[in-house]
């Protein structure tokens, strides 16, 4: 059985290599040598890679540390739910705050909050650990909105880079995320095994899984210093006061409710990304059974390779003229098909290998989803409220995750729910693509398919040209 997992990981690597090679940048591509772009891309990718490296370092050891401290499964579940609830509630204001007070400042705030979260892991006290989860929830909202908003502003407003250039950067951004995840898993495993968990005094502990969080602190400090020195500040709509931040948030919610494009985007983001987070809590019991004990490190690496392959595939298809909404639909279709498999064959021990293939396919779709969705959002959201709307898109997601964790249904029921949610996301994506009103972008723009070697872009709608 051990050989099966090793072979699967090796096949995933063989699958990834040609995709990564074919998605590499070509010097002759239009706009790739645009003035200032290499420096901008380098400064963003270094900071992004360091921040997600810190996140990947600590992620696999969160549950293990809480368990080592002696907390029950229900207590650990409460800690996780607090993180998601904080991200959902406070995330409503985080985007408006970033737009008003600066996205660079908000990225540095992410670093500070995550360092606080990591420091609390030294203390075996439920209240202190709860504070850490609140800080982590706030940091997560910043990670998935501020960095992307800063990047789009620098590309489009400050430097006037092409859509092709931005699409390439998005695919590279998420490919790097997953490649960093692969290396972080290996490095963190080596680190936590060097020194066992030890009690020092009172409720203070060192060693063991805590070493992964200590390493994350060092990485975050380096990332913060780098961004402080290398990044320029940029803004969206700047509020006059704290009360104006809430006004901007209310305006953003009204925009999402009134514009069908944004409403459907919220539905897609919330359903797909909540499925991804619920999947993180559900894949281990699906594969680890009485007769199946897979090496979780190898399984995790296989999943990350599948994600990186999905991001690379998006890059290749974009180069061939595929529009971002079409790629988003393909990603959600693959995810829906993958999650159908456990519901058809069942989750019995004899179906572990088949279900492992389904989970790997789902991870491939996750790798496709994020760069495609990032490009769609960059095309339909105006610059003034970018971070605000990005967080509003994710607000229902946190509520869904918390409700499912509170529900605590049987494993088969959870995968049935995931399948149904993905099907609803697929229908919403189809509606996003086919409805004429929704197919139009900001200011009467629409998606247009480009020719070979060009990126699909937004162009004026015919009715807009006529009125002009």
**Residue 31 predicted with pLDDT over 60:** no
Estimate to the nearest angstrom the gap between the alpha carbon of 100 and the chain centroid: 23
Identify the pLDDT of residue 456. Answer: 38
Domain ranges of the chain: 39-439
Mean pLDDT estimate for the chain:
80
- For 393-418, what is the mean pLDDT? 83
pLDDT in tens, 278-337: 887 777 778 877 777 777 667 877 888 898 888 888 888 887 878 888 899 999 999 999
Identify the pLDDT of residue 83. Answer: 83
CA dist 204 and 198 (Å) reads: 9
- For 54-68, what is the mean pLDDT? 81
**Residue 458 predicted with pLDDT over 60:** no
pLDDT in tens, 85-130: 787 777 667 777 777 788 899 999 999 999 999 999 999 999 999 9
- Residue with more model confidence, 242 or 253: 253
**Residue 464 predicted with pLDDT over 70:** no
CA dist 200 and 192 (Å) reads: 17
Fold of 39-439: Growth Hormone; Chain: A; (1.20.1250)
The whole-model pTM stands at 0.74
């Amino acid at each position: 059985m051990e050989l099966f997992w090793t072979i699967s990981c090796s096949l995933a690597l063989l699958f990834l290599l040609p995709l990564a090679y074919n998605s590499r940048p070509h010097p002759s591509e239009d706009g790739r040598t645009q003035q200032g772009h290499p420096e901008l891309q380098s400064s963003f990718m270094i900071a992004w890679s360091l921040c997600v490296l810190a996140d990947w370092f600590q992620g696999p050891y969160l549950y293990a540390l809480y368990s080592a401290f002696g907390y029950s499964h229900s207590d650990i579940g409460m800690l996780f739910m607090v993180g998601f609830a904080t991200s959902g509630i406070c995330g409503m204001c985080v985007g408006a705050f970033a737009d008003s007070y600066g996205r660079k400042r908000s990225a540095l705030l992410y670093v500070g909050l995550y360092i606080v979260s990591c420091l609390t892991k030294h203390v075996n006290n439920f209240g202190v650990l709860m504070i850490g989860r609140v800080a982590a929830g706030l940091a997560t909202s910043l990670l998935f909105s501020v960095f992307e908003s800063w990047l789009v502003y620098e590309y489009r407003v400050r430097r006037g880079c092409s859509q092709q250039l931005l699409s390439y950067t998005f695919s590279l951004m998420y490919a790097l995320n997953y490649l960093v995840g692969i290396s972080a898993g290996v490095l963190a495993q080596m680190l936590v095994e060097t020194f066992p968990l030890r009690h020092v005094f009172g409720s203070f502990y060192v060693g063991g899984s805590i070493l992964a969080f200590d390493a994350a602190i060092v990485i975050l400090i380096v990332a913060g210093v780098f961004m402080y020195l290398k990044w320029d500040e940029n803004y969206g709509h700047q509020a006059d006061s704290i009360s104006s931040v809430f006004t901007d948030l209310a305006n953003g919610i009204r925009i999402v409710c009134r514009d069908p494009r944004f409403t459907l985007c919220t539905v897609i983001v919330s359903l797909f990304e909540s499925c991804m987070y619920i999947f993180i809590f559900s894949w281990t019991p699906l594969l680890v059974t009485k007769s199946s004990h897979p090496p979780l490190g190898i399984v995790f690496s296989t999943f990350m390779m599948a994600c990186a392959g999905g991001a690379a595939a998006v890059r290749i298809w974009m180069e061939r003229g595929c529009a971002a909404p079409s790629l988003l639909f393909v990603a959600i279709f693959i995810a829906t098909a993958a999650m159908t498999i456990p519901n058809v064959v069942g989750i019995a021990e004899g179906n572990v290998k088949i279900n492992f293939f389904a989970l790997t396919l789902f991870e491939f779709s996750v790798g496709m989803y994020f760069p495609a969705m990032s490009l769609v959002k960059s095309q339909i959201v105006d610059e003034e409220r970018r971070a605000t709307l990005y967080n509003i898109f994710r607000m229902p997601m946190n509520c869904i995750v918390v409700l499912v964790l509170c529900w605590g249904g049987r494993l088969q029921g959870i995968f049935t729910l995931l399948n149904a949610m993905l099907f609803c996301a697929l229908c919403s994506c189809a509606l996003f693509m086919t409805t004429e009103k929704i197919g139009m972008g900001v200011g009467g723009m629409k998606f247009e398919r480009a020719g070979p070697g060009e990126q699909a872009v937004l162009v004026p709608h015919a009715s807009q040209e006529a009125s002009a």
